[in-house]
Amino acid sequence: MPDLFQSTDIGHISFIHYAELFLNKSHGEFDCIQLPPIQRNSVWNVAQIERLWDSLFRGFPIGSFYLSERKQKTVARSVLDGIQREQPGNGYFLLDGQQRTRALLLGFKATGSARLYIDLDPQLPFQNPEDNDRKFIFRLLTNYQPWGMNKETPVRKLSDPEKQNARKVLAESNLHYDYQLKINHGTVLDEYQRLNGFSPWPIQSRLPVPVDILIEACGGYSGNFREADWNFIMEYVPEQYKSNRTTEPTSCFKDVLKSMRNLLRKDAVRQRHISLLLHTEEEVSQNTTKNIDPLEVLFTRVNANGTPLEGEEMAYSLLKSSWDEAYNLVSQILNNPEIGYLFTPTKLVMAASRIAALRAKKNDDPKPSVTKFRQWIAERSPNDQSFFLDEMKRLMLPDDLQVSRFTRILSHFCQLAIFRENGPSGDPGLPRKLLLHLRASLIHPVLIWIDRQLDQEIDFEVSRKGIIRYLSYSLVGFDDPDKVSKAAVRVITSTNNTIFPDREIYLECLENDLAKVVPAPDQILSFGNAPADGYLRHWDALLGEETDPLRPFRLSFWWKKELLLWFQRSDIPVWFPGYNPMSEDASDTPYDYDHILPASHIFGQGSRNNLPGATPDHENAFRERRGRYLGSIGNYRIWPLWANRSDGNICPAEKLRMDMPDLSEDKVARQLKYTTEKDFTEASCINPDNRDSWFGCAGNPAKWPDNRRKAWQTAVEERIKYLYRIFYNTLQFENWRIGEPQQENKILLNIIENQSLN
């Protein structure tokens, strides 16, 4: 084992020596520091990484790194490649300092998903004194934020117009979304400059250069520091900032070289060192018993002031520390493009654990506590095998065809639930992005049902509509996801039904006050065919009285704009080719929830009277209720973000290109390849029969005469009816209706009684 401590429990190692341990494969101590299985992956954000490097350059302490000895043939995970394997030699576990280590190494070597820049002419100070806590302005580009974060406040994202304007400068100017971009990872100058025209750069900068290029130009981790040539470094300034290049070094560059000298020169007078602390217990056990694993105790305590490890993350860490192969097997599923987007690592483990626990005859629990999870792992059979772990291994380990049972379960689920882009017109499947809006525990029952049917020769396709119906309803109809999930599993495990029991689950939840009653298409709004009055309706008129059993569903559907992803599912793949929404990616959604009637048309008109002919009471009613109509699913559509920005705050008639026979010069129409008004209304999921109402919404934002108010009210209400009719009929919710009216009335009366008691 490399001796980093020399018979003490405190060691000091130079900054470049520490970097070498992870980067220099020819170094005798390469990769001697690794992560214990209990460690999670990196969770630091952009601002933390940028400020860490500012601290390094300024000589600020960055904290000690806590290690424990690792024996040979112990399973550990490499900090850089993340692969967990049995290690042939002795070494160390990195118990505290993973996030700082990754951030530190990022300056030496860009990763596949991130590159660190520094602005050599940052134009400090900033206007806001609170933003002037940094001397060096580092800019981190990631796959999720390829232009970087806000220069002055790196916890804040850049604005969409800034990113949109930057994309226009790229060689491929038709790129509308950040997910289409790739960070420039070029290191050789010719390659770097060639990629410049196709790659993002740090917005809000003047002279940004990659930190890894700068460090390498100063000698890297060799210890032989040399001052980087200014003219050479200027060649790495992105082409977009070419006019900012100077012949003479900036004062910031001179300060950077001083800092680099202390970081990279092995004989520097004030060479930066890193403090290492050693856990002195001879061996940190990784065997999980009924007592808490000492490694877990140690890890939890030393990280008490950092990003806490708890709940599902702790359960996953317990699994990794108890089963050497768990991490790699989970990673294989996550890297599978067909199924990997469905869950985060911890959610995936909890889904598999629930199936394994049921197979091990445990009580069903959608969210087991850490204590219970530890007990499951600790419980042993007479031959000292864990019942639970045995089932996890049966689920996760690959079979003779190198495919695990759990992978097959997830594959079946995705094949059944996901919208089939190349399938028949009107395929009812859910878009991937919409599926990610579901609580994971509501997906579990489907996975458990598939597991129970996997060894039988059944046609899963027969159950497809029922599974989609259950999942779609879950988005709007269930009240307590975890209780619903338990009830659903109870239904599934009580019989061996080879057809997914979606109706039985609904009725079970309905009787236990966990589900909202599904209205018939003509019941989605309670006022029937009463015409619009122009002053918008009271909630009771829209949804029914408080005791109306249909009111909860109506209210939920009214606000559930996310369902538009399903209604417009056929257009999304066409608009966003190559877009694969990963469950951890929430930063670059390429679409907007667009108000068909813009908010600026209904709000912000001041106190002046813009309702001609209305009484004060009617004015108050309209102003009080306009927000509920504006924010309803009836006034929203999914629309490409760039196209929505292009349209701005134009009225519905213009958005839908009504009465515009020639769209040949229309930029949005050309890029979407729409040639008629019908193309726009169909893509917006608007009923052609309701055209006149949307056309009647046109007008001056400040003027709301009677006919305009009635037109907008009618447009929103009728669109809600139209959308629900599609939802109900396409997914065949009539299958959930109770055959005997008396039985249905009995259930509804029970619901009313329960509501009155509550």
Residues 429, 421: Cα–Cα separation, whole Å: 9
Predicted local distance difference test score (pLDDT) of residue 284:
47
What is the residue whose two structure tokens read 């909202």? 516
Residues 603, 185: Cα–Cα separation, whole Å: 47
- Beta pairing partners, 117: 139, 210
DSSP 756: H
Tell me which amino acid residue 744 is. E
Show Cβ contacts of residue 280 under 8 Å, excluding neighbours closer than 6 positions. 9
Element (H, E) at 13: strand 10-14
Over pLDDT 90: what percentage of the chain?
65
pLDDT at position 270 over 80 = no
DSSP 589-602: --EEEEESS-GGGT
Residue 652 has which token pair? 């519905």
| Banded pLDDT at 306 (limits 50, 70, 90) | low
pLDDT at position 752 over 80 = no
Residue 284 has which token pair? 């940190």
- Identify whether the C-beta of residue 719 lies closer than 8 Å to the C-beta of residue 595: no
pLDDT at position 755 over 60 = no
Tell me which amino acid residue 358 is. L
- Which residues in 508-606 belong to E strands, given as ranges? 591-595
Q: 1-5, 143-147, 294-298, 722-726 — which is least confidently predicted?
A: 294-298
Predicted local distance difference test score (pLDDT) of residue 291:
56
- Which residues in 55-183 belong to E strands, given as ranges? 65-70, 74-77, 84-87, 91-96, 114-119, 138-142
Residues 22, 41: Cα–Cα separation, whole Å: 16
pLDDT at position 297 over 70 = no
Give the three-class secondary structure for 275: strand
| Banded pLDDT at 179 (limits 50, 70, 90) | confident
pLDDT at position 386 over 90 = no
Q: Tens digits of per-residue pLDDT, 121-157? A: 998 888 888 888 999 999 999 988 999 999 999 999 9
pLDDT at position 300 over 80 = no
Residues 33, 21: Cα–Cα separation, whole Å: 7
Residues 62, 82: Cα–Cα separation, whole Å: 23
Predicted local distance difference test score (pLDDT) of residue 748:
61
Whole-prediction pTM = 0.85
Is 160 exposed, middle or buried (CB count within 10 Å of its CB: 0-12, 13-18, 19+)? middle
pLDDT at position 307 over 90 = no
Residues 734, 521: Cα–Cα separation, whole Å: 10
Q: Give the residue-averaged pLDDT of 731-757.
A: 67
**Which of 228, 213, 210 lies closest to 116 in space, CA to CA?**
210
DSSP 177-193: -GGG-------SHHHHH
pLDDT at position 318 over 50 = yes
**Boundaries of every domain in the chain:** 114-264, 310-515, 523-735
Predicted local distance difference test score (pLDDT) of residue 292:
58
What is the residue whose two structure tokens read 């999980």? 288
Show Cβ contacts of residue 305 under 8 Å, excluding neighbours closer than 6 positions. none
pLDDT at position 442 over 70 = yes
Taking each helix axis from N to C end, the angle separating 251-264 and 15-23, rounded to the nearest 10 degrees, works out to: 70
Strand order in the sheet with 10-14: 10-14, 273-279, 65-70, 91-96, 33-34
pLDDT at position 171 over 90 = no
Residues 220, 562: Cα–Cα separation, whole Å: 49
Q: Give the residue-averaged pLDDT of 566-574.
A: 95
| Size (the chain), residues | 758
Residue 306 has which token pair? 């950092």
DSSP 675: -
| Banded pLDDT at 607 (limits 50, 70, 90) | very low
Residues 369, 364: Cα–Cα separation, whole Å: 12
pLDDT at position 679 over 90 = yes
Average pLDDT, the chain: 89
What is the residue whose two structure tokens read 């709940």? 311
Report strand pairing: 33-34 vs 91-96: parallel
CA dist 95 to 301, 380, 669, Å?
Answer: 10, 28, 56
- Identify whether the C-beta of residue 221 lies closer than 8 Å to the C-beta of residue 16: yes
Q: Give the residue-averaged pLDDT of 712-739.
A: 95
Tell me which amino acid residue 516 is. K
Q: Give the residue-averaged pLDDT of 389-401.
A: 91
Question: Across 307-311, 459-463, 575-579, which has the greatest mean pLDDT?
Answer: 459-463
Numbers of helices and strands, H then E, in the chain:
32, 12
Residues 420, 732: Cα–Cα separation, whole Å: 18
